[in-house]
Structures are given as structure tokens and as C-alpha cells.
Structure 1
Amino acid sequence: MDSPILPATTSLPLPILYQSSDLVAINKPHGLLVHRSPMASDVREFAVQRLRDQLEQRVYPVHRLDRKTGGVLLFSLNESMNSAMQMLFAEGRVHKTYVAIVRGYTPDAMTIDYPLRKDDGPDSNVVQEAITFLKTLQRTEIPFAFGKHATSRYSLVELNPVTGRMHQLRKHMAHILHPIIGDRPHGCNKQNKLFKEHFEMNTMLLHAQRIEFDHPATSERIVIRAPWQSEFERMMGMLFWGNVNSIIS
């Protein structure tokens, strides 16, 4: 059943990254829910609602991003394309690349193969296969004492989820003891407090940087990239100082 139409918001237009007759991608801001959720009943704005009002037509989210994750979010503009894109995602034929800032020095590269339990729905607590490829892009050490350490260390990592489990990247990074900065509840509360106090930073440093797939109708290879959100870019500048764009494909 269609959700009721809400009045158009006064928010700034969502940044359009890609648009065709049957697909559109936005650069979702951190903090914006994709659609209604019983876990956030007080929220009145959603990406689906805002994009629908902006384009003046119905839109279908073909995947989801966590509320606190920014970056590429893809929508279909009709039911047939929505079904085709859902099939691509289900068959693992959509390649997604994320970038995150995490605690500590991560390995140069590794495969995280760690099954995860479902968080919600009728199959809650069912264990599912979950695999993520990690590549370290850059490391940094800053002169902030943390616990018994005189300095604090962080890594900028590229993450490619093979599977698409809820909160997969957040849970996998916590599992290998390199939680994403700003993540709650899977992250490190002490690190999150440090970033809030020293940098006035209160978001999660996870960015959906790129999505790639073959268009279901034309077979054209579609590659959509999202520029950094302002807060993510600010933190990269403070922590890594260099031109990280030159090392991120």
C-alpha cells in the first residue's frame, strides 16, 4: 500500500548524482532516514518523501543506507525497473564501495568473513553469511592521549561488502576491533566522545562512495560516485592532511 502523501518540505533539494528515465541516485546526507521506520517514529522527513516531492513523481528505493551513513543512494522511477534492480542486488551483481574512518591501524588488506544475526523481522536472530573486503588507504597518528596511550591512531579504509546484511560494515569493523568513528551502538563510546569534545563531530564517518552495475535494460555499465559530505571531508582534512582523493579510485 502506498504511503500517504505528505506536504513538500522546505529543505534544500537533495543532490542528484545520476538521473535517467528510470533511475535516479542522490548523495544522501548523514542523518536522513531512507523511509519510515517504527524505530524512529518522531522523524518527519525521509529521503523517499523528499525526493518524490523534488521530482514530483513516485520513487522506489532499491537498496538502503543507515540513517547516519551518507553517500550514493539509488532509486528506481517505475515498478519494472525497481524489480529488475532488486534482482541485481539479490544476485550480488551490484558492486558497492564505502569509505570509513576507523579506530587504530588496520591491516593493509583483509577479508572479513563473519556471519551476522538478523536484527529485526520474523527471522530475527537467524545467522547469515556476511563477507566484507577491506583495504587500508591511509593511516594517521594524532597527539591526543587516549586511555594509557599518549597518542591516537586512525585508519582510512575502503570497504566492499560482498553480502548486504543490516549494519554489516559497522558490525564487521567492530568485530575486528577497528570500529567506525561515530558509530553507535557498535562503535567505541570513548572514541566518539573524544571526537565530539575535540572536533565537535557528532556523525558517523561512513560514506557510500561508489556504486557500479550493468543497466538492466541497456547493459550499459553505470558507475555513480558521491562526493564527500562536508563533515566527512572536514574530518579527513583534520586527520589525514593529504589529498586523499588521489588514493581513492
Structure 2
Amino acid sequence: MLGGNVLQEFRTRFGDGAKVLAGEVFCADGTVVDASTELAPGTVVYLYRDLPDEVPVPFEVPILFRDNDIVVADKPHFLATMPRGGHIAQTALVRLRRELDLPELSPAHRLDRLTAGVLLFTTRREVRGAYQTLFADGRVRKTYLARATGTPTVELPAVLRSRIIKERSRLQAFEELGESNAETYVEPLGMGVYRLTPRTGRTHQLRVHMCSIGVPIEHDPLYPQVLEVAADDFSRPLQLLAHTLEFDDPITGAPRRFVSARSLQKG
């Protein structure tokens, strides 16, 4: 952006400010741009492109909880948290903004597109920072359930620590030598099901750690090897579920605990 009023800049540069007025332009943090938004020079904004070839994700986004500050959704597999790459309208953020008529809705954290489960959004920009800071400071307790195949190469339960790197040019994250930046507590629950408690939040951390001990998560198209999956193939959801989310509410101080109603597939 050149700076100043965004609506006016869109009209000057593109001859049309309709997307701004429709609430389809937003800042990097998910804030919706409106007719009064003023931004500094060099600020990047994003808009919802018209994507006629975007494949609809045929699953609903149930709401587990809603009040004036937050919305807690039970995200399905295959639905991205927020717009990125070729996923724009078919994201939890865009769907819920439209379905709930909450233009300032913003995710407090993210789940991978292929991971299902508990996902927290804030409803107003005034409270966004307080909830996002909870996640940034590691003050949220998260547990996941995973179904995996194979025999673990380490004795479980165990804390897995490693250095995980994710580069934009590579689909897979990878482990390398050096100071660890990723930590996961892994507990076997029997019948190929594991409870995973991440103590850090690296990209693909749980998938990389499970694969590293010889028990890759079922239906994972990236680990241990990259598999081609058609965009409209929803038949093999990754068996990874964000099961619980717990924290002390930064606004009220009350303890919060949300549990996914979803379950892993058997076999």
C-alpha cells in the first residue's frame, strides 16, 4: 500500500473499492479492512480472490462455544484455518465470518489444513491480542489424538525433542542437528492410538516426531513420503485430532476447557 485510506487507494489504483466495502480485504493479522481503515506506507493487505476452481470442502464447521469474545470451532479435516495459497473461500475463517456475520473474526492460533479439532477465534479486534498472546507465550495446554501404524523405536511414554525446520520451498519439514526447538510428549493409549502433548508449536511438529520414531500418522500424505492426492479426494483424512484446549481466560480469569466432539477413524 502507498499509505493512507485503503478504500481511496483501491479506487485510485484499481478504479473499484467494492472488495473493501464487501469486507473482502484484510490485514496480515486477519483484521478486516473497512471504509475508514488507514494504513502506513508499505503495509501489505490481502483480498479474497475469485477462485471458480476452488474445490468445496464438503464438511460443516460445528461451533463448540461462543460468547462476546471468542468462538470455538470443531474444524473438520481438509479445511484450512485461514486464507493461504489456493485456499481462500474454503477456509474456516472465511466460512465462519460469513455464517456468523462476524467480520472481525480472527484465529488466535492455527491448525494444519489436514488436522481436525478445536480451533479458537476471537470475535473483536479489541480482545485479539490478549488471546493470541496466550498461544505465543505457551500458556495454552493442548492435547492431540493420533492413530499411527508401526512399532515405536523408542520406549513410550517419552518426551521427543529435536530441531525442526520448515522451508517454503519444501513440502516436508525436516529435522537437523542443533539446539532443539520442538518438544512433544507422546503417550500410547493402545490399539495404535497415541495422545500427543506439544510443548512447542513448530510446523508439522507432531507429524515429524511421530514419523521419526517409526510410527507415522495414518493417511499422512507427506510423512514419511510425499504422496499425490487429488484436491477433491476426501476419503483418507489424516488421523490427527486437536482434542482438547485449556487455558485461563485472559479477560475474565476463568478456566476454560474445550473438547472436540470428533473421533479418529478405526483401522
Partner of 1:32: 79
**CA shift in 2, pair 1:103/1:159, >3 Å:** same
- 8 Å CA contact retained: 1:180, 1:187: no
Partner of 2:204: 167
**CA shift in 2, pair 1:20/1:47, >3 Å:** same
Answering whether residue 151 of structure 2 is matched by residue 114 of structure 1, we say no
Kindly state the Cα deviation for residue 42 of structure 1 after the two structures are TM-superposed: 6.0
2:190 to 138, 148, 154: 138
Kindly state the Cα deviation for residue 11 of structure 1 after the two structures are TM-superposed: 6.7
Kindly state the Cα deviation for residue 10 of structure 1 after the two structures are TM-superposed: 11
Q: C-alpha separation between the residues in 2 aligned to 1:54 and 1:177? A: 42
| Larger CA Rg, structure 1 vs 2 | 2
* Unaligned segments of structure 1, at least 5 residues: 140-154, 240-249
Structure with the bigger RCO (C-alpha within 8 Å, sep 6+) is 1
* Unaligned segments of structure 2, at least 5 residues: 1-26, 33-45, 51-55
**CA shift in 2, pair 1:166/1:10, >3 Å:** closer
Kindly state the Cα deviation for residue 111 of structure 1 after the two structures are TM-superposed: 0.4
TM norm structure 1 = 0.74
Answering whether residue 107 of structure 2 is matched by residue 61 of structure 1, we say yes
SS in 1 for 2:148: strand
SS in 2 for 1:179: coil
- 8 Å CA contact retained: 1:211, 1:225: yes
Partner of 2:132: 86
Higher helix fraction (1 or 2): 1
Identity of aligned pairs, percent? 32
Q: C-alpha separation between the residues in 1 aligned to 2:239 and 2:109? A: 20
1:49 to 66, 69, 94: 94
SS in 1 for 2:128: helix
**CA shift in 2, pair 1:188/1:137, >3 Å:** farther
Q: C-alpha separation between the residues in 2 aligned to 1:189 and 1:181? A: 13
Q: Provide the aligned C-alpha RMSD in A.
A: 3.0
**CA shift in 2, pair 1:181/1:57, >3 Å:** same
Partner of 2:257: 223
SS in 2 for 1:86: helix
- 8 Å CA contact retained: 1:35, 1:47: yes
In the alignment, residue 211 of structure 2 is paired with which amino acid? A
TM norm structure 2 = 0.69
Kindly state the Cα deviation for residue 174 of structure 1 after the two structures are TM-superposed: 1.2
Count of matched residue positions in the alignment of Structure 1 and Structure 2 = 206
Q: C-alpha separation between the residues in 2 aligned to 1:26 and 1:42? A: 18
Partner of 1:144: none
